[in-house]
Amino acid sequence: ATYCVEVLGTPIPVGGCLLVFDFGGGTLDVTVVRHDPDGLRVLAVGGLDDLGGVDIDAALVGHLGQLVAIRQPEVWQRLVNPRTPGEQRDRRRFWTEVRAAKEMLSRAPSAPIQIPGSDDAIHLTRE
């Protein structure tokens, strides 16, 4: 709430409420704040300890994996079940690419993801 007022310059009128939504790497935290005449007051706090960015990453990897598996099943099998150190690096690289693409979607409508072990790339979009 302080960030909204001080950094963004968006005042909260007296009596107005604000929902603070913090979707972190491993948790989701939500707080409802009201601007009372004497300052900001927390009305409610909640969240989920088992939902965060890593869960979104896993869902995206699964979705994109379905696309890769159709076009290049052998490449996808190596990423899902790596058997060599090189394949394990490729798997980590794919997860890193997916995470970076997810974050890039905050600023761009689509983001490329290089498929390790292949010359192909796929695009993740906001839609």
pLDDT at 1: 64
**Residues 101 and 61 both lie in one domain:** yes
**Residues 36 and 96 both lie in one domain:** no
Residue 105 CB partners (closer than 8 Å, separation 6+): 111, 124, 125, 126
**Residues 62 and 111 both lie in one domain:** yes
Angle at 126 between CA 125 and CA 127, to 5 degrees: 90
**Residues 80 and 97 both lie in one domain:** yes
Q: Containing H/E element for 31?
A: strand 28-36
Number of compact structural domains in the chain: 2
**Residues 79 and 58 both lie in one domain:** yes
CATH number at residue 110: 3.90.640
**Residues 60 and 119 both lie in one domain:** yes
Q: Which amino acid is at 65?
A: G
Residue-wise pLDDT for 80-125, tens only, equals: 999 999 999 999 999 999 999 999 999 999 999 999 988 999 999 9
Q: Which domain holds residue 44?
A: 2-48
